[in-house]
Structure 1
Amino acid sequence: MENFYSFTALRGIQGRKMSYIIQIPLNMVGTLFEQEDFSLPVIERKQRMLNKARVNQIAKYLVDNPDSYVLPPLVAQIIGEVEQTPDQLQRDIVTLKIKMGSKLQILDGQHRCAGIQLALQQRKYLGDEVIQVKLLICGNLSDSQQVFADININAVKPPQSIKMLYNHRDYLTSFSKVLIEQIPVFKNNTDYERTNLPPQSDNIFTFSAIYQANKELLKTSSDETMFDQKTLIQFWNTVASVMTDWDGQKNAGELREQSISVHAVTLSALAEVGRTLIEKFPSEWPEILNGLVGIDWNRSNPDWKDRAVVTGKITKSRKNIELTANKILQYLGVALNKAQKNRETEFLKNI
């Protein structure tokens, strides 16, 4: 007597081929699907190498959000014999019987599978919950590789700004939205959807840039988070009042082209400056920030070379943020701390 996997499936035709949608418990993910052999050359595989960081990210997402997570369906292929028995009333619903000796191989979703298995080590009860799987009948390796290519070629990641904007689990997202509404220059000039603004845009800031700057400002030297809404709003209002570039006198496109003042690297650098001032001068920091009014933010200013502007392009990396913050602190007459001095010394050696 042969053994079968038996699933209730919804069947349909896509690309002139039959496909099936089933649901499986999460605790079957590790046993139902055949593992990819990564010792094979890439040309002989159906999948890319696993990215462990991505696996850990998915596992953490499941562990942190057991009551509200959402996982997209997996896509897998069946290699072997399949029997289907249509429901008497709904012909598109079938009982799908797959021989135990058949192979089920993941074509899309290997990181989800690995992340699920890792998460179940910490949240075993999630094993009774389900994930949808789209099953295809692929004829050969080239068919399988084509499915992988088609899915990934047509996939487009949404901009970082809109991903942050829609993340209601993140306190900083909610606060950044409130902050923008209370700072007039942010409220009237922020693009919530795009991360990179086109030349014709009337906006000068992006939501992601403001979010990242707030994240920078809220870090403390003890790596804890200081959620003081009043201080944050006061800080950005003070900055906005002395940033002459932000007064609306220049065309938005020209301002972004000519000045570094509205770019993400500078917003994050200003946030690092703000964090330094608030920690060192808890009462005097607003007055010290008035010194920003005398800074030349033009991208052609040699002070920004290899700090915010690298080979003629405005660049945002951790190093760029720190070096730009150092120069702003020097403009304000504030002594650098040990870490800032070390970064500055390293930078000056390479000029």
Structure 2
Amino acid sequence: MLMNFNYTFPALRGKQAGKEFYTVMCPMRLIPRIFLFDEEEIPVEHRAQRVMNRSRIPDITNYILENPKEYIFSSLTASVDGEMVFQEHSKDLKDIGYLTISLDSKFLINDGQHRRAAIEEALKISPELGEETISVVFFHDLGLTRSQQMFSDLNRHAVNTTSSIGILYDHRDQLSLITKGLLQDIPLLERYTDREKVSLSKNSPKLFALNHIFNTNCRLLGKRKGEIISEQEKEFVQKFWILLCDTITEWQDVLDKKVSPRDLRINSIIAHGVFLEAIGIVGHYLYFYHADEWESYIKKLKKVDWSRENKQDWLGRAYGQTGRINKTNETVQLTANLIKSKIGLPLTEQEQKIENKIT
């Protein structure tokens, strides 16, 4: 059928499961125009994705706007219910040519609805982005009958990266850069930090997971990923970790091969994330209220009994009745409360409310 009104894109033709699909380079300005309708208004039985989580859109939009020379997006994947014609470039280049899609076709995104929405928002602020392109993979799907199965198939084998991997590969976020810098500068952290996992197995040869150190730095500075960090704060984090690693005798025993990470993990709370993040809370308090003498308080940690056998102190805080370490915001705070008490620091009003629950 001859289509008088249509979109025409330079395209590559491919074949999967005996069916053709097409990859095109689509100008950003066309994305909001092509994918017009609101997925939330589509009945669930015809919807190709979950209902959009709109809280994700500002983060993706800011990512584009704040990194105009570095942002990168993977392809959008969409089903087309309508007339599609592929014209080969030549007999020798049969899978390179032009894809023509009628204007009255229906488009349904199978993968990338949040990227589409973020592109639309970014274009409102920076219209010049409209000249840039994103790849779109089109599947012909009359009646949109295959859309849900396509979404299921596309996501069936997807595996999210760990937060540690995300930190390791992030070369832009300041907290990530500071965290990785600590590993380069402090031998204990360099040797005994697992850069991929988010939790360590019982027999792991490592003491820390990268995300635990990152989370500790978040608590230490009271900052979140993406926030600006001053030079003074960077210097404090560096000095804090150097002193902490020198102060915790048990960590030094691991570095000197006197005890294994496995044994320390079994017998003590200081080889677990609940301890690290609790120390971050204590350090944050020291930074704001004892900026000139925080080192003297950290040195007092050397005298604390971190053993799991010390049930009077750590049961109900760092671990429960079964002996299993339990890291939640509440247990981290309860552990921090006791550490503050051990080194002579008062509790804040909010900390005292949490403490009252256990006492």
Same-fold call, TM > 0.5?
A: yes
Question: Bigger shift: 69-78 or 277-286?
Answer: 277-286
Give 3-state SS (helix, strand or coil) of 1:48's partner.
coil
Unaligned 5+ runs, structure 2: none
Q: Please identify, of 314-323 and 205-214, the stretch whose mean Cα deviation from structure 2 is larger.
A: 314-323
Query: Which deviations, in whole Å up to 9, do the C-alpha atoms of 1:278-321 show, x marking residues without a partner?
Result: 33223322222222122222345343344333564433343333
Pairwise mapping of residues 263-278 of structure 1 onto structure 2 (< 5 A)?
Answer: 263-278=272-287
1:307-326 aligned within 5 A = 307-310=317-320, 312=322, 313-326=324-337
Q: Counterpart in 1 of 2:158?
A: 155
Identity of aligned residues (%): 34
- 1:151 CA displacement: 1.2
Cα distance in 2 for residues equivalent to 1:157 and 1:236: 30
Contact 2:80 2:142 in 1 (8 A): no
1:41: how far off? 4.2
User: Which residue of structure 2 lines up, in the alignment, with residue 122 of structure 1?
Assistant: 125
Q: Give, in angstroms, the shift of residue 140 of structure 1.
A: 5.0
Q: How many residues align?
A: 346
| 8 Å CA contact retained: 1:3, 1:100 | yes
Q: Does 1:297 align with 2:306?
A: yes
Gaps of 5+ in 1: none
After superposition, the Cα gap between the structure-2 partners of 1:319 and 1:224, relative to the gap in structure 1 and judged at 3 Å, is: farther
1:58 corresponds in structure 2 to: 60
Of 285, 290, 294, the residue aligned with 1:285 is 294
Contact 1:34 1:105 in 2 (8 A): no
Change (3 A) 1:230 1:58: closer
- Residue 85 (str. 1) matches residue 51 (str. 2): no
Matches within 5 A, 1:88-103: 88=90, 89-103=92-106
Q: What is the alpha-carbon distance in structure 2 between the residues aligned to residue 79 and residue 92 of structure 1?
A: 22
Aligned positions of 1:10-89 closer than 5 A? 10-88=12-90, 89=92
Stretch deviating more after TM superposition (183-192 or 228-237): 228-237
Of 103, 108, 121 in structure 2, the residue corresponding to residue 105 of structure 1 is: 108
Equivalent residues of 1:34, 1:103 under 8 A apart: no
Pick closer, same or farther for the CA change 1:207–1:22 going to 2, 3 Å: same
Do 1:9 and 1:20's aligned partners in 2 also have CA atoms closer than 8 Å?
A: yes
Structure-2 change in CA distance of 1:268 and 1:14 (3 Å): same
Task: Select the residue among 138, 141, 160 that pairs with 2:141.
Answer: 138
- Please report how far the alpha carbon of residue 343 of structure 1 lies from its aligned counterpart in structure 2 after TM superposition: 2.8
Per-residue CA distance 1:238-278 (angstroms, 9 max, x = gap)? 22222132121332223223322122222122122122223
- Structure 1's 317 and 128: CA in aligned 2 closer, same or farther, altered over 3 A? farther
For each residue in 1:65-100, what CA deviation from the matched residue of structure 2 results, as whole angstroms up to 9, or x when unmatched?
Answer: 111100010000111111121001411112111111
Asked if 1:343 is matched to 2:347, the reply is no
Q: CA RMSD in A?
A: 2.3
Instruction: Tell me the amino acid that sits aligned with residue 250 of structure 2.
Output: D
- Kindly provide the CA deviation profile for residues 38-85 of structure 1, in whole angstroms up to 9, marking residues without a partner as x: 244423321111111211211111111111100010000111111121
Moved more, 114-123 or 287-296: 287-296
2:249 is aligned with what amino acid?
T
**2: CA distance between counterparts of 1:103 and 1:86?**
24
CA shift for structure 1 position 197: 1.9
Compared with structure 1, are the counterparts of its residues 224 and 31 closer, same or farther at alpha carbon in structure 2 (3 Å cutoff)? closer
Alpha-carbon offset, residue 213 of structure 1: 1.5
Pair 1:309–1:11, CA change in 2 (3 A): same
Q: Which residue of 2 aligns with 1:3?
A: 5
Give the distance between the partners of 1:143 and 1:242, measured in 2 at CA.
61
Structure 2 CA distance for partners of 1:136 and 1:314, relative to 1, 3 Å: same
1:245 to 241, 250, 255: 250
* TM-score, length of structure 2 as denominator length: 0.88
Change in CA separation of 1:64 and 1:98 when aligned onto 2, cut-off 3 Å = same
CA distance in 2, matches of 1:160, 1:54: 17
> What CA deviation, in whole Å up to 9, does each residue of 1:168-209 have, x standing for no partner?
112222222222222222121011122122333211111221
Mark the CA change 1:197 to 1:307 in structure 2 (over 3 Å): closer, same or farther: same
The answer to whether the 8 Å contact 2:165/2:196 transfers is yes
Question: Which residue number in structure 2 is paired with residue 233 of structure 1?
Answer: 238
Distance 1:37 1:192 in 2: 38
* Alpha-carbon distance between aligned partners in 2 of 1:11 and 1:224, rounded to the nearest angstrom: 45
Deviation per residue, 1:218-250 (Å, 9 max, x gap): 238xx9844334432322222222213212133
The answer to whether the 8 A contact 2:61-2:119 is kept is yes
